[in-house]
Structures are given as C-alpha cells and as structure tokens.
Amino acid sequence: MVYTVLLPRGWFRVQLTHATEEKQPRRGNKTLIAHLKDRCPTLADPNHAFYAPPYLLPQGDMQTIYLYTQHYKPAGCSIEYKREIFEFADGGKAAVDWALPDQEHNPNAPLIVLIPGIAGTSFDYYARSFIKELRKQVPASRVAVLQSRGCNGVKLVTPKAFHGGLTDDLREFMEHIAKRMPQAQLIGIGFSLGANILTKYIGEEGSKCRFIAAASVCNPYDIDVTISNMSQPTFKNRYLYAAALTRSLISVFTSNKDVIAAGGFELDPNAITSARTIDEFNKAFTAKVFGYASAKELNCSGSCVQYIKNIEIPMLFINALDDPMCYRQTIPIAEIKKNPNLVLAVTRHGGHLAYFEGLGLAPWLPSRLSMFVAAMLDWK
C-alpha cells in the first residue's frame, strides 16, 4: 500500500501528447501548449505537472470505489442548483441544473456546460467538486449541468432515453444556448460517457461548433471495446463496475416502463430487467428503441474516436492508465497527436474520475480543469 512513497517523482509526471508547436494554433505570440504551460503549469509543464496517488488509495480500483462513496457525502462540497426542465423538439424533457447564480442576470458571463457520465447527475462528486473549485478560479462564470432524459428525478415523456453516442440532445441544447446567450463564451466539459458524447458532438460540428474550448475526462473513446471488456465475467465486472452501471440503466427502464411500452417497440421486459451487462441491456433495449440492428452497431456508430480528426477547437483530454472502466488500450494517442488542436494528458494513476491525493484525500482534478477553463477564456 505504501509503494508509491518509494517511487521517484518522475514516475508520477503527467505525460503530454500533442502536435509539434509549429503545427498548433497560435494566438498572439503563444501556441496552445505554450499557453497551457504558462497558465496550467501543474497540468502541462513537465517540470511541475505530477499526479501521485495517496498511499491509502494507490490503485485505480480503490480510487474509483472511494469516489463512489463520496456521492453520498454532500457536506463540505454542497452546491446550490437552480433547476430548469429543458424540453426538446420531440417533446422529451431533461433536467438542466444551473450553478454559480451570481451571474444569473449577466448574459455575457462565460458558461461551462457539464455532461455527466452514464446516468450521471449534477449531484455526482466530480461535478460538485469541479464547480466548487471553479467558483474560486473563475468567479464570473456560470455552469449548466445537462443531464440525460430520465435521470435525476425527471421522468421520460417519450420512449427514447439516451445512449453513449447520442448527440442530438446536446446539439439542441447548444442551439438554445446560442440564442439565449449569444455573446457568452462557451466551454464544454464531459466526464466518462459524457466525454464521449461531447467529443463526438464537437467533431460532428467541426467549424460550426459554438464552444471555444472543451475538456474530456476519462473518455472511453471506443465504446464497443470498452463494453466488451466490461462484459468479461471477472469478479470486478460481475459485482462492481458492469453490475452497477447496468443496474442504473435498468432503473431508468423500470421507472418509465409505461411510457416506453406506449412507443410500440417489440421489447422483452424480462430480458431488459435481467440484463447483467451493458451489452445485454443495449441488445434488449437501447439498440431496438434507437433503430440499430444490433448492440455492436449502436456502440461502433456512437464511438467518438472516429470524429477526433474533425475537432477544430482547443480540447484537452485527461486519462488515467489505471482506469478500471475506460481501458488504456482505447486511448487514441496517434489520432490526438495528428490534430493540432488537441492535447492529451495521461497519468499513471487516478482511477475512473477519481484522482484523490494527499493524506486528506483531496480531489486533484478540479483545480486542473478550472485552470484550463481560465486559460481558454483569456487566450487571445
């Protein structure tokens, strides 16, 4: 448990991947990576960018499980939200939770749009801890947490809920924001499966993207490979990760089964509720509702890796090599290096969305993301 204390500091250096500086976008006298090194030294400067896990949680599984326990402890990281029920063109609804209300009446305040992970909510610790830190570093900003249909207390009113490659809802919300706050600088941050959705959306939009910058945290990149790995009959998958994620998906179905049944789809409720992996759930439910021939087709078409080459805004990717859900083999290092707008920051440790450090188990990630936001807002 204490082996991390014995390793040299260089072992914990954040490994950066990006295009050569002559190929990168330049504003003023600085390239993208030069600006990040200056404004985000503990993330992008090799002399200062390190992440060492606490000796109490040296391993990715431990970090990930500990993060899960923090979802039930709002004390010390409580965030006040103002809820908006956003209605889509097809009549569907989703919760948008707004934070940092001091800028509520300032239409020009920078807006950070957060996309949580699978069935995630504004209550998740990684979202709350980021907003808490952002309040310190960029107090003149606002945050909107866009949650998926059927999540965080909002019932489905149409049969379709969500999947990992669904960008239509984010696109419609962004079009609404563009009209509502036309002068505001917009930055997107996606976590886990939300990172896949955000990345895919930005790649689809290309030069039309309204975000000025974005960040992706613990992105699975290739959903089919990720789900296949999580479907392996290991102890961790059967009783921890795949089991927990599958249960969260099943709960969306069971809470809205009458609305889903009214959609006229040929579904087997028993097959849905007895699913033990995400792949089984997608085969029995998601693929059929969204019109895909198979779960594999759904997964492959929804993976963001194929859209990375089309991203035209500065975007930061953060991944941990010991992430037990999003596997190191799926990190598209070559694709990211080819696109001059992208920077990949890889740590050896951190787990899935966790990144705790020190004896107090403080979160390492929020301050780095907040520094990135501040840096992008003043890169002119």
Give the span between the Cα atoms of 129 and 357, in whole angstroms: 14
pLDDT of residue 131: 97
pLDDT score, position 5: 67
- Give yes or no: residues 286 and 266 share one domain: yes
User: Do 255 and 108 share a domain, yes or no?
Assistant: no
Region label for 368, one of left (φ > 0), alpha (ψ between -120 and 50) or beta (otherwise): alpha
Do 21 and 158 belong to one domain?
yes
Catalytic positions are 192, 323, 352
Together in a domain, 235 and 258: yes
Same domain? For 284 and 320 the reply is no
214 beta partners = 188, 315
User: Does the pLDDT value for residue 214 go beyond 90?
Assistant: yes
Q: What are phi and psi of 44, to 5 degrees?
A: -120, -10
Token pair 């188990």 is found at: 361
User: What average pLDDT does range 313-342 have in this prediction?
Assistant: 97
Indicate whether 89 and 150 sit together in one domain.
yes
Same domain, residue pair 170 and 245: no
CATH number of the domain that residue 355 is part of: 3.40.50.1820
Residue 97 corresponds to which tokens in the numbers above? 């939770």
Q: Which of these three, 248, 269, 298, is where a domain ends?
A: 298
Q: Is the pLDDT of residue 4 over 70?
A: no
Q: What is the extent of the structural domain holding 269?
A: 230-298
The residue out of 283, 298, 313 marking a domain boundary is: 298
288 and 209 co-located in one domain: no
Query: pLDDT tens digits, residue range 131-181?
Result: 999 999 999 999 999 999 999 999 999 998 999 999 999 999 999 999 999
Q: Looking at the structure, do residues 74 and 148 belong to the same domain, yes or no?
A: yes
Same domain for 160 and 205: yes
d(CA 368, CA 101): 22
Statement to judge: residues 32 and 94 lie in one domain: yes
The pLDDT value recorded for residue 3 is 59
Comparing C-alpha atoms, which of 379, 356, 290, 259 is closest to residue 60? Answer: 356
- Mean pLDDT of the 172-201 span: 97
Axis-axis angle for helices 60-70, 125-137 (nearest 10)? 80
Q: Distance between CA 194 and CA 276 in Å, rounded? A: 22
Q: How many domains does the chain have?
A: 2
Predicted confidence band at 1 (pLDDT cuts at 50, 70, 90)? Answer: very low
Does 38 lie in the same domain as 119? yes
Helix (H) or strand (E) segment spanning residue 211:
strand 211-217
**Mean pLDDT for the chain overall:** 94
Stretch (H or E) spanning 115: strand 111-115
Residue ending a domain, choose from 249, 276, 298: 298
